[in-house]
Amino acid sequence: MLKIVFLDEYSLGGYDLSAITSLGNYIGYDRTTPEQVLERCKGVDVIISNKVYISRQTMEQLPDLKLIAIAATGMNNVDLDAAAELGITVKNVSGYSTYSVAEATICAALSLLRNTTYYDRYFKSGAYAATSDIFHFGRPISMLRGKNWGIIGLGTIGRRVAKLAEAFDCTIAYHSTSGITRQESYPAMELKELLSWADVVSIHCPLNNHTANLIGEAELAAMKPTSIIINVARGGIIDETALAAALNNKIITAAALDVFSKEPLPDSPLYNLNDNDSLLASPHTAWAADQAVKQLIQGIAENIKTITA
């Protein structure tokens, strides 16, 4: 029987894991520190990890290890070169969060353009009840319809966002961070051209040497003062200090972030903006719709089924 350990169960939000636990002798840990990884993984055939890092040093001391099942799409929490050299299979789950992240992107755009959080707070604060005015125009409301939408990274999620944005009669263009030219349904633009053209910019590319701090002071300055930017990809693609300055100085109108350079984010200028309503932030939850989490769990189970004890 397979021996299976899940190092960070909390990352799946308390969902039913029976599809996984039924596959062998299972032990789950809510969280695992770097110092606990090796001891908890001794003698196991399968390690499940969402964000806990599995190093070469750890793998070299686990002769029974057959599979590292990543409870996510990104694989940067495993030394992949070492795993290949040691004959350890590494499998992620791709595609489970495409619709969830794409919907979160559209939701963020609509929320920012319509200033949803401001008006919700205005109502709940009692300010609306205290006035005799039926209407309140504290912040501008703009439609998504007809906007120029620039996509950075036209992969699976980027294409889904494009389809959804087209339903709002948006005009779509994209920038390829890899530099690879493909036949696409939308025109490609260089980054500065895209940024100066777009009313809405959304980021859907991986974090790598080409994309780290891709959006900094100069890039933000190239954007329209009425534009918004959304990052649901990886923290570190936008320079957060530069973004805070751009929001404070009204270089752009607003931003939505679901990912950050460090997670959780420690002290940051993003916590002390001149206008808090210029930033819509969420704690890395764009992927975590109910259906997506269940699909992820099933994907992990299917990956484990490819391994025999």
Supply φ then ψ for residue 112, to 5 degrees: -70, -45
Catalytic residue among 160, 175, 204, 284: 284
35 among known catalytic residues: no
**Given the structure tokens 């001391």, which residue do they identify?**
61
Contact at 8 Å (CB) between 211 and 205? yes
Write the single-letter amino acid at 255: A
Q: Say how far apart CA 137 and CA 304 lie, in whole Å.
A: 55
Catalytic residue among 160, 234, 240, 302: 234
Supply φ then ψ for residue 141, to 5 degrees: -120, 125
Contact at 8 Å (CB) between 210 and 178? yes
Q: Say how far apart CA 29 and CA 9 lie, in whole Å.
A: 6
Task: Report the residue count for the chain.
Answer: 309
284 among known catalytic residues: yes
Coil, strand or helix at 250: coil
Catalytic residue among 60, 85, 263, 302: 263
Write the single-letter amino acid at 202: S
> What are 288's two structure tokens?
């975590």
31 among known catalytic residues: no
- The angle formed by the CA atoms of residues 260, 48 and 302, to the nearest 5 degrees, is 110
Q: Say how far apart CA 197 and CA 217 lie, in whole Å.
A: 17
Catalytic residue IDs = 234, 263, 284
